[in-house]
Amino acid sequence: MYSEELQELFKRKRISIGDSIGVKAEGVDITGELMPRTDVGDADTLVIKLSSGYNIGISKRNIKDVRLVSPAAEKAAITLAPVKKNSKLPTISILHTGGTIASKVDYRTGGVTARFTPQEILEMFPELREMSNIESRLIRNMWSEDMRFAHYNLMADEVEKEIKKGVDGIIITHGTDTMHYSAAALAFMLEDLPVPVILVGAQRSSDRGSTDAAGNLINATYFIANSDFAGVAICMHETSNDSSCLILPATKTRKMHTSRRDAFRPINTTAIARVSYDKKNVSFIAKGYGKRSAAKLKLTHFNEKLKVGLMKTHTNMYASEVAAYGDFDGLVIEGFALGQAPINKVDEFTEEHPRILAAIKELCKKMPVVMASQCIYGRLQMNVYSTARDLQAAGVVGNLDDMTPETTFIKLAWLLSNYKKEEVAKLMTKNLRGEITARSDYGAFLI
């Protein structure tokens, strides 16, 4: 909250949070939107958001004058014209699940205002008008870290509805934290997709000057409108600048940085394509990819009641950690390197380790237990060392897979939802949606 002196100044000038104001300070005259104060920082510092999207703080002692330019209510009252369709352009449906990509901060409340109608989307991203007819609706408004199997079912059902309507492509806006989980889930659920389904997120808020929201959404739209691709993929920045985006494979992509705009990278493979709206160019990188067809979509769902775990091995581990998954339906062990876990008694300090192996063996009697490597890059090879051979003997599967732990988790849950338990072990090591590469590409490391 602002200091009492600043609040009194706002009252005299009839200024409220969210209003457009002019501030005269030493040698400058700045116009922007009055931001709410957080509990952090100097309460005597006035904060406004500039048209560039960046915030600036001005100390009360430097302020010469403050004036009201336009009330927030006037801006909110603007009405948007109905969207006219162009029969010569493809129709793309944008389904929103939340995140920052199509939202703006309401500075009167400090909250986020959702902008999800076609008119609002085109107002925010007018470049879309020249590429396609846009249909847009909200199917859920949530943080991506709160996703559950039920939300994957919801997204898949909504995609099926759009395909039945005859759209030429679908964009799903999604929070970035778990977007790679959702992409993998949709890839397994949506078999024989006749159109592209592209997941798009934003690492930086739409109202920030450094936002990647516009670039990601515009490039995804351009890619759909100017390619023959069909299938599930992710579209995010290729580098930290705005020159291009990558179309990334749904089951072999991972978020590799907390905040960089190029956080999403292909794992153990290459990107599908590079797209640049600015250069009006789409160039395919992958040698093979799904193409549009008249195929009939086959939709399968997740069992929303399944309990599937993802456990990371670590030093100083205990058998009780493994035993905690005793009432689950399946478990992915994120093991060391080629597929190891701490199961060997080598001295007086490692007496717990055989108990860990015994606990894993007990789980394998009840459920599928699958190995993935916490190295992220590379392939499991569980025949090299005796440790991994002992894990295989206990019932752990996954040898020779090069899936990410997240895709392994999603695949196991999807298989358990749709196949008998005795079939799951064999299918885990079979490539179904491009999640396992037949041959490792040495040049795909950290690209």
pLDDT at 307: 98
Dihedral angle of Cα 65, 54, 145, 260, to the nearest 10 degrees: -160
Which one of 31, 177, 262, 429 is the catalytic residue? 177
How far apart CA 336 and CA 316 sit, in angstroms, is 14
pLDDT digits (tens, 9 = 90+) for 152-203: 999 999 999 999 999 999 999 999 999 999 999 999 999 999 999 999 999 8
Quick check: is 366 catalytic? no
End-to-end alpha carbon distance in the chain: 45
pLDDT above 90 as % of the chain: 72
The structure tokens listed for 232 are 């599930």
Q: Are 303 and 417 in contact (CB under 8 A)?
A: yes
Cα angle 270, 276, 281 (rounded to 5 degrees) comes to 95
Q: Which residue in the list 45, 91, 97, 100 is annotated as catalytic?
A: 100
- Is 88 among the residues known to form the active site? no
Would residue 192 show up in a list of annotated catalytic residues for this protein?
no
Which of 49, 252, 255, 361 is catalytic? The answer is: 255
Q: Between 1.10.630.10, 3.40.50.1170, 3.40.600.10, 1.20.200.10, what CATH number should domain 86-299 receive?
A: 3.40.50.1170
Judge contact between 262 and 240, C-beta under 8 A: yes
pLDDT at 77 over 50: no
Q: Which CATH class is domain 308-428?
A: alpha beta
CA distance linking residue 408 with residue 333, whole number of Å: 10
Cite the residue boundaries of each domain of the chain with CATH code 3.40.50.40: 308-428
Determine the pLDDT at residue 107: 47
**pTM reported for the whole predicted model:** 0.84
189 phi and psi, to 5 degrees?
-75, -35
**Residues 253, 180: contact at Cβ < 8 Å?**
yes
d(CA 35, CA 49): 7
Q: Does 176 qualify as catalytic in the annotation?
A: yes
Span(s) in the chain for CATH 2.30.30.520 = 4-74
Supply φ then ψ for residue 229, to 5 degrees. -65, 145
Name the packing angle between helices 421-428 and 405-418 (round to 10°): 150
Distance CA 189, CA 230 (A): 14
pLDDT in tens, 388-442: 999 999 999 999 999 999 999 999 999 999 999 999 999 999 999 999 998 888 8
The fold of 4-74 is SH3 type barrels. (2.30.30)
- From the list 97, 173, 176, 408, the catalytic residue is 176
